[in-house]
Amino acid sequence: MIDVTRAAELAARGSYGRLLALLSSRTHDIALAEDALAEAFARALSHWPTQGIPDNPDAWLLTTARNRLTDSQRRQLRFPTVNEIPDMLSPELADGSIPDRRLSLLMVCAHPAIAQDLHVPLMLQTVLGLEAKTIARLFLVSPVALSKRLVRAKAKIRDAGIPFALPGDDVLRERSTAILESLYALHAHDWLDPAENLGDEAFYLADLLGRLTADDAEALGLAALIAFSHSRARARIVDDMLVPTDEQDVMLWNDALIEYGKRKLHCAYEKSSVGRFQIEAAIESVHVARKETGSTDWLALNKLYVALLKIAPSVGSLVAQAVVTGRLHGPQAGLEALEAAETVTGPGYQPLWAARADLQARAGNHLAAVKSYDKAISLATNGPTISLLARKRAAEQDK
Amino acid sequence: MRYTFLLYTDPADLADMTSEDWQAEKEVYGAYIGALQKAGVFVDTDWLQPVHSATTLSLKGGTRQVQDGPFADTKETLGGYFVIDVPDLDAAMVWAQKCPAAKTGKVEIRASAMGSE
């Protein structure tokens, strides 16, 4: 016997975003579409066990949700609106597949008229069907405040006439960049607080975007970048302690994700349109190559960081390049590079102090290293990072 | 150095919260407290009764003046506080940024005048 609950669950995970994108693209009312879809799923759970699972569960859910939308629109308008939303399966479903409007929905979520810090929560809620409460917990924000802001954002999307159609090329590029930035932020958030397990969501959305905009080299680059770093997820934290990339146990790295990343990066290179995410993915690819070669190619990393700093300077890559300099030209050169970096990062930047402590330790200046580790620890808020820094600090103190 | 975070929120934002909402809210703050404790910087925290229950007392001018209500009548009111022990303001700011109240209201950071330890 087929497990009905499981079937509904799988349908939910696989098609939630697709169905919601389609339903909301007609009404522009995401909240209304969410309610209708929730009702359709609830009905599936009560009908399917007695009447059997339909041949095309997605189409069944879509039709049920559409009927529900029609009902509520009739109630709102008081007059019946005939033919606006068909009760029968529409012709576009004739071949059994649901048209994919998720790219338009992502564009709506990342619209510049919507506050930037709501882009990711909106994507997680509409495309992945995550509850506001869950999203709030992941980002450590007040659930009630976030729910209210999401409700207001959806009302704005409906009332301000934010278009659900795909924009023209120029705007498409700009909007794609906003989506990529959001997914990158989601990925970086998981990187900082991996206990929160947002990596799966970031990877799912990046993979989806890579498929939906297969011509966009940067979308492919981001999918590769997230796959590469996600491949090291199990090796990154061991016994609640962060493990630096070049000390990780390569046997814990996920080969399937590494292969996926290589494939996507290769496709991206073929578009001959280099960008920040491709370079970051290339940096990751150098790190994961250690699994095959047994060593890290610091020279290649240096070249990539020079390129990255030219295209997209950031405090993180500035410090990372100083670390690479230290490996290539000795700790003293690395420390000098950090001095220069500090004028940009300011003294309150934790990775700067962690890098400085490591280079001081390599230079044999154990006393200075201990002090720098203290500063780094004071600026760290994440448990596994603090554990790593404390372990390294203890090792220096013993010398 | 000991720092106190004063958490200011707009009570209107909390007006129609269900008990389930409060539970979720407590979980978020619980996670923050857990992070502070794990980092070994946690000293104290409290969550305060709504501002209408405040009493303000002053002996300024020689006579005791008791006011029914908060000291300053603003939209955002003091809703709670955290006391943490970290080396300097840089570290205090890092933790204040992580505080849930910073994302929806304001967090005022004040160093202790007593000095630490």
Interface residue B15 vs chain A (CB under 8 A): no
Mean pLDDT of chain A: 87
> Do A247 and A353 belong together in one domain?
no
Q: What is the rounded distance in angstroms from the CA atom of residue A44 to the CA atom of residue A66? A: 14
Q: Report CB contact under 8 Å: B25, A142.
A: yes
Indicate which of B38, B89, B107 best probes the interface with A, i.e. most A CBs within 10 Å of its own CB: B38
Using the 3D structure, point to which of A93, A115, A135 is the last residue of a domain: A93
Using the 3D structure, point to which of A294, A312, A330 is the last residue of a domain: A312
Q: What is the rounded distance in angstroms from the CA atom of residue A228 to the CA atom of residue A248? A: 14
What pLDDT score does A201 carry? 80
What pLDDT score does B66 carry? 78
What pLDDT score does A191 carry? 58
> Do A305 and A221 belong together in one domain?
yes
CB atoms closer than 10 angstroms to residue A271: 17
> Do A186 and A305 belong together in one domain?
yes
Q: Report CB contact under 8 Å: B32, A140.
A: yes
Would you list the DSSP string of A315-333? HHHHHHHHHHHHHHH-HHH
The whole-angstrom distance between B59's CA and the closest CA on chain A is: 38
Domain annotation covers residue A347: yes
> Do A302 and A391 belong together in one domain?
no
Show the tokens assigned to A218. 């940067």
pLDDT band at B24 (very low <50, low <70, confident <90, very high): confident
Q: What is the rounded distance in angstroms from the CA atom of residue A82 to the CA atom of residue A296? A: 66
Higher pLDDT residue, A281 or B98?
A281
Burial of A251 (0-12, 13-18, 19+ CB in 10 A): exposed
Please provide residue A113's backbone torsions phi and psi, each rounded to the nearest 5 degrees.
Answer: -80, -5
> Do A16 and A73 belong together in one domain?
yes
> Do A198 and A300 belong together in one domain?
yes
List of chain A residues whose C-beta atoms are within 8 Å of the C-beta of residue B21: 143-144
Domain annotation covers residue A45: yes
Q: Which CATH number fits the domain that encloses residue A367? A: 1.25.40
Q: Report CB contact under 8 Å: A140, B86.
A: no
Using the 3D structure, point to which of A35, A63, A93 is the last residue of a domain: A93
> Do A346 and A330 belong together in one domain?
yes
Q: Give percent above pLDDT 90 in chain B.
A: 23
Q: Give percent above pLDDT 70 in chain A.
A: 88
What is the Cα Rg of chain B in Å?
16
Domain-by-domain residue ranges, chain B?
2-111
> Do A197 and A308 belong together in one domain?
yes
Q: Which domain holds residue A183?
A: 178-312
Domain annotation covers residue A261: yes
Polymer length in residues for chain A: 399
> Do A300 and A340 belong together in one domain?
no
pLDDT band at A99 (very low <50, low <70, confident <90, very high): confident
Helix (H, G, I), strand (E, B) or coil at B3: strand
Strands B77-85 and B42-47: antiparallel
List of chain B residues whose C-beta atoms are within 8 Å of the C-beta of residue A133: 24
Q: Report CB contact under 8 Å: A137, B87.
A: no
ipTM: 0.71
Cβ–Cβ < 8 Å for A39, A65: yes
pLDDT band at A10 (very low <50, low <70, confident <90, very high): low
Residue B96: closest C-alpha in chain A: A381
Q: What angle do CA B101, B106, B108 make, to 5 degrees?
A: 110
Q: Is the pLDDT of residue A167 over 60?
A: yes
* Fold that domain B2-111 belongs to in CATH: Alpha-Beta Plaits (3.30.70)
Section A65-77 average pLDDT: 79
The whole-angstrom distance between A109's CA and the closest CA on chain B is: 20
Q: What is the rounded distance in angstroms from the CA atom of residue B77 to the CA atom of residue B71? A: 10
Q: Is the pLDDT of residue A250 over 70?
A: yes
Domain annotation covers residue A161: no
Residues 6+ apart with CB under 8 A from A91: none
List of chain A residues whose C-beta atoms are within 8 Å of the C-beta of residue B13: 142, 144-145, 148
Contact pairs from chain A to chain B, CB under 8 Å: 66
What pLDDT score does A95 carry? 53
Q: What is the rounded distance in angstroms from the CA atom of residue A280 to the CA atom of residue B51? A: 50
Q: Is the dihedral of CA A259, A263, A268, A272 positive or negative?
A: positive
Residue A348: closest C-alpha in chain B: B90
List of chain B residues whose C-beta atoms are within 8 Å of the C-beta of residue A386: 38-39
Domain annotation covers residue A101: no
For residue A165, which of A250, A248, A105 has the smallest C-alpha distance?
Answer: A105
Domain annotation covers residue A305: yes
Mean pLDDT of chain B: 83
Domain annotation covers residue A284: yes
For residue A226, which of A185, A266, A195 has the smallest C-alpha distance?
Answer: A185
Residues 6+ apart with CB under 8 A from B35: A381, A382, A383, B98
End-to-end CA distance of chain B: 8
The whole-angstrom distance between B27's CA and the closest CA on chain A is: 8
Q: What is the reported pTM?
A: 0.79
Residues 6+ apart with CB under 8 A from A23: A33, A36, A37, A62, A65, A66, A69
What pLDDT score does B23 carry? 87
Cβ–Cβ < 8 Å for A50, A161: no
Domain annotation covers residue A72: yes
Indicate which of B103, B107, B116 best probes the interface with A, i.e. most A CBs within 10 Å of its own CB: B103
Q: A29-34 — which CB contacts under 8 Å span 24+ positions?
A: A29/A154, A29/A158, A30/A108, A30/A126, A30/A154, A30/A157, A30/A158, A31/A151, A31/A154, A31/A155, A31/A158, A32/A69, A32/A72, A33/A65, A33/A69, A34/A126
DSSP-derived secondary structure letter, A347? T
Alpha-carbon separation of residue A115 from A110, A127, A150 (angstroms): 9, 18, 10
End-to-end CA distance of chain A: 66
What's the total number of domains in chain A? Answer: 3
